[in-house]
Every structure is written in C-alpha cells, then in structure tokens.
C-alpha cells in the first residue's frame, strides 16, 4: 500500500539511485536535467517548484515510509480545472509490480477528489512503452501524437500527449 506526501530534500538520495541508465534518464527528464542526476540539480528543481504556486512535487512512500516513487504536478489551473503531471518515476527495484499504477491512481484521486479538478494531462515518449501502457491502464487516453519530435543522441522519439478526465 502506497501513500503520497510532499517531496522532502531527504528524498533526493532515493531519486539519485533510481537512474543508472542515461537513455531511461532522458525518457524521464526530457532534457530538463543533465545526466547523471545530482543533488544540486534536485535542490534547484525543488526551489523552483517551491516558488511556483501552481506546482508541487510529490513522493510516494511504501508501508515503511520509504520513498518508492516521485512525480511533479504543475500548471494547476483551478478555473479550467486542469493540472499536468510530469517527472513520473518508480524505484527500478519494484517496477512491474503495480506500484506505478497505484501511485498514479492516488495522484488521480487527489487531483479529482481533493483538488476538485476535472482534467489531468501528461506526456510520454513512444520509446517508453511500459510507462505508456501504465498510463493507459489507469485511464489516460491519447489526445495527440507527434512523431520524431524529441532528439536523443542519434534517435528521434515521438511524444504521446495524454489526458484523463473526471
């Protein structure tokens, strides 16, 4: 069973250990961070988000209180009833066991029931089929797909723009 809580500086040590592959890191960060991830980058990220009244970082914790997941909610628009999720990641040691799905279900419940929003959006690269599949399983649908719009080394990745509505 997972719980959600605000991201704390002490969570950085977990995130730093979740990325040991540059390609997977790029799928997560979309070049918003540089590989390898550092504590300094995470401090800057946290400070920037803390100064944005329409954004916050969330940590998913397991039954022992250990961080096992992370995501950003940003661009909260309370008039239009929408929010965007990003930087979604689960500890690689527990991937494929339903934790990502559970974390997303909690995030959706929070956005819809607590924040009283009606729409959540996110983006995912076509090179990340497991994440894409997870988003589909919790109810996100494709709204747009742009082929080969993100350069990574000698590759061009496409992007799915997805949403879920209450």
Average pLDDT (46-64) is 98
Domains of the chain: 3-122 (3.40.630.30)
By CB atoms closer than 10 A (0-12, 13-18, 19+), residue 80 is exposed
Average pLDDT over residues 50-66: 98
Read off the pTM: 0.97
Rounded distance, CA 74 to CA 83, Å? 6
Residues in contact with 51: Cβ distance below 8 Å, sequence separation at least 6, in sequence order: none
80 Cβ neighbours under 8 A, 6+ residues apart: 119
pLDDT per residue over 110-143, tens digit each?
999 999 999 999 999 999 999 999 999 999 999 9
Residue 66's pLDDT band (cuts 50, 70, 90): very high
> What tens digit of pLDDT does each residue of 1-49 get?
999 999 999 999 999 999 999 999 999 999 999 999 999 999 999 999 9
Q: How many CA atoms lie within 13 A of 94 on its CB side?
A: 18
Residue that has been written with the tokens 């100064």 in this structure: 51
CA 163 – CA 51 distance, rounded (Å) = 26
Cβ-based neighbour number of residue 142 at 10 Å = 13
Structure token digits, residue 48: 């920037």
pLDDT band at 104 (very low <50, low <70, confident <90, very high): very high
Q: Residue 108 has what pLDDT?
A: 98
Cα gap 27→7, rounded to integer Å: 21
pLDDT for the residue 88? 98
User: What's residue 18's pLDDT?
Assistant: 98
CB atoms within 10 A of CB 25: 18
In terms of C-beta density within 10 A (0-12 exposed, 13-18 middle, 19 or more buried), how is residue 121 classed? Answer: middle
């Amino acid at each position: 069973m997972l719980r959600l809580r605000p991201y704390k500086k002490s969570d950085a040590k977990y995130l730093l250990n979740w990325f040991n592959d540059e390609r997977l890191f790029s799928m997560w960060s979309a070049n918003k961070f540089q590989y390898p991830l550092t504590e300094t980058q995470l401090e800057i990220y946290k400070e920037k988000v803390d100064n944005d009244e329409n954004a916050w970082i969330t940590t998913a914790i397991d039954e022992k209180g250990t961080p096992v997941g992370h995501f950003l909610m940003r661009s909260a628009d309370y008039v239009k009833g929408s929010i965007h999720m990003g930087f979604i990641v689960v500890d690689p040691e527990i991937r494929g066991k339903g934790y990502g799905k559970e974390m997303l279900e909690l995030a959706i419940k929070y956005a819809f029931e607590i924040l009283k929003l009606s729409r959540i959006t996110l983006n995912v690269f076509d090179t990340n089929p497991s994440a894409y599949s997870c988003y589909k399983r919790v109810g996100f649908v494709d709204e747009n797909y742009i082929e080969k719009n993100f350069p990574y080394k000698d590759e061009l990745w496409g992007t799915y723009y997805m949403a879920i509505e209450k």
